Amino acid sequence: MIPDRAGGTRRLGYPVAAGVFAVGMAGTTLPTPLYGLYRAQLGFSELMVTVVFAVYALGVITVLLLAGNVSDEVGRRPVLLVALGFSAASALCFVFEGGLPMLLLGRVLSGFAAGLFSGAATAAVLELAGPGQEAQAGFAATAANMGGLGCGPLLSGLLAQYAPWPLLLPFLVHLALVAVAAVATWLLPETVAHPHRLRTPRPQGLELPPEVRGVFAPSAVAAFAGFSLLGLFTAVAPSFVGQTLGVHNLAVTGLIVFTVFLGSTAGQSLTERIGSRRALPLGCLVLVVGLLLVATSLAVTSLPVLVVGAVCGGIGQGLAFRAGLTAVGRAAPAERRGGTISAFFLIAYLGISLPVVGVGALTLTLGLRGAGLTFSACVIVVTVAVGLYVLRRPPVGDD
Q: Phi/psi at 194 (nearest 5 deg)?
A: -135, 70
pLDDT given at position 318 = 92
**What pTM was computed for the model?**
0.84
Of the two residues 24 and 131, the one the predictor is more confident about is 24
Question: Which of 352, 341, 323, 343 minimizes the C-alpha distance to 120?
Answer: 341
Query: 14-191+210-392 has which CATH code?
Result: 1.20.1250.20
Does residue 85 surpass a pLDDT of 90? Answer: yes
| Backbone CA torsion sign across 349, 224, 226, 376 | positive
CA–CA dist 396, 376 (Å, integer): 27
Question: Among 231-240, 256-265, 375-384, which is the least confidently predicted range?
Answer: 231-240
CA torsion angle 250 256 262 263 (round to 10):
-170
Per-chain mean pLDDT for the chain: 85
CA–CA dist 357, 295 (Å, integer): 18
Q: Return the DSSP state at 396.
A: -
Does residue 307 surpass a pLDDT of 80? Answer: yes
CB atoms within 10 A of CB 129: 21
Does residue 11 surpass a pLDDT of 60? Answer: no
Tell me the percentage of the chain whose pLDDT exceeds 90.
39
Does residue 399 surpass a pLDDT of 80? Answer: no
Report how far Cα 123 is from the mean position of its chain's Cα atoms: 15
CA–CA dist 318, 226 (Å, integer): 8
Residues with Cβ within 8 Å of residue 271, at least 6 apart in sequence? 139, 279, 318, 319, 322, 323, 326
**Cα dist. 139→143, 245, 252 in Å?**
6, 35, 28
**Cα dist. 192→95, 127, 213 in Å?**
36, 9, 24
In contact, 109 and 82? CB cutoff 8 Å: no
Report how far Cα 370 is from the mean position of its chain's Cα atoms: 26
Does residue 201 surpass a pLDDT of 60? Answer: no
Question: What is the domain partition of the chain in residue ranges?
Answer: 14-191+210-392
Instruction: List b or e across 190-199, with b for residues whose CB sees 16 or more CB atoms inside 10 angstroms.
Output: bbbeebeeee
Residues with Cβ within 8 Å of residue 167, at least 6 apart in sequence? 34, 37, 38, 41, 94, 97, 160
pLDDT tens, residue by residue, 57-84 = 889 888 888 887 788 888 999 999 999 9
Quick one: average pLDDT of 350-362?
A: 81
pLDDT given at position 213 = 75
pLDDT given at position 347 = 87
In contact, 383 and 263? CB cutoff 8 Å: no
Question: Which of 243, 267, 250, 73 minimizes the C-alpha distance to 161?
Answer: 250
Q: How large is the greatest C-alpha to C-alpha distance in the chain, in angstroms? A: 62
In whole angstroms, how large is the CA radius of gyration of the chain? 20
DSSP letters for 217-260? HHHHHHHHHHHHHHHHHHHTHHHHHHHTS----HHHHHHHHHHH
